[in-house]
Amino acid sequence: MSKVLMGAIAKSGKVEATYRYTVFGATKVGTKSDGWPSAVTDAAAALVAAADAEAGDFGAVVSVQVYTAITDPDGAPGFSAPGELVDITFAPSSTPASVRVGDDETIPESIATARDAFKAAVQAAL
């Protein structure tokens, strides 16, 4: 049974992933939120840290949500390819509370690199 990552949320020390798989001829969707190896939690922390470093004075980044071509099939032409968008959530009472990166701008290289490493680690651990 092969599991294919659909998307994941990275928080320091916590990861929640959604994946799909085919069993008995039917495609199903599952989630996993615990039991991750350190490679995954380390990659999650690195992604949050990369986003936090790019955020500057807008507040502390508490989570980053990533997508795949399954959940973001079109991307944002001119800015991000399918599956490259990220949603960044800041600490409570920050303004803005969250932003989507990649729909109106190119994703900063540090975030894109950390995002790709995180997605690869999650996929390998599913």
Give the range of the structural domain holding residue 103, as residue numbers without chain letter: 3-125
Domain total for the chain?
A: 1
Within 1-126, strands assigned E span 3-11, 14-23, 26-32, 61-67, 86-90, 98-101
For residue 21, the cross-strand partners are 3, 28
pLDDT in tens, 45-84: 999 999 999 998 888 999 999 999 999 999 998 899 999 9
Secondary structure class of 71 (helix, strand, coil): coil
- Residue 75 is inside which H or E element, if any? none
Q: What pLDDT sits at residue 1?
A: 58
Total-model pTM: 0.95
In contact, 25 and 8? CB cutoff 8 Å: no
